[in-house]
Structure 1
């Protein structure tokens, strides 16, 4: 199992919408709007690194209101 945190910057005022939309995606464990350098932090799980990449590229980055993402893969579970 591969886990990662996706750090997301959103358009102004869209953090709540983005976190709600991400929470509905299969593979997303949690999605929270936060304060600081990023607007939303999403925790995801996938079976392989390849599946993780597909989840981020094909699903999460397609959510309306996302400006930028940074994927932080968990190295020890």
Structure 2
């Protein structure tokens, strides 16, 4: 199961936070971007019960102000 996590950060911290998030288990990619969100993260978990734990790890990174998780639809 995969999801995108859209992350808003404190001003000027997007690059650092993206680098920190890349090191977390379950994270496939983390890119700093322009727009209403500062970092876009793609995560993977074995199933729906593990996905919240992966997202909570991201939310604990210092400097994050808000996240929005978008689960990838199964095909």
Where 1:9 maps in the other structure, the secondary structure is strand
Runs in 1 of length 4+ with deviation above 2 angstroms? none
- The structural deviation recorded for 1:76 is 3.1
Long gaps (5+) in structure 1: none
What is the RMSD computed on CA atoms of the aligned residues? Answer: 0.8
Aligned equivalents of 2:37, 2:61: Cα separation in 1: 16
Where 2:15 maps in the other structure, the secondary structure is helix
In structure 2, the partner of 1:75 is 73
In structure 1, the partner of 2:10 is 11
- The question of 1:66 aligning with 2:64 is answered yes
Q: Tell me how many residue pairs correspond in the alignment.
A: 75
- The structural deviation recorded for 1:50 is 1.3
Q: TM-score, normalised by structure 2?
A: 0.96
Aligned equivalents of 1:75, 1:37: Cα separation in 2: 23
- The structural deviation recorded for 1:4 is 0.3
1:35-54 equivalences in 2 (<5 Å): 35-54=34-53
From the two aligned structures, give the one with the greater helix fraction.
1
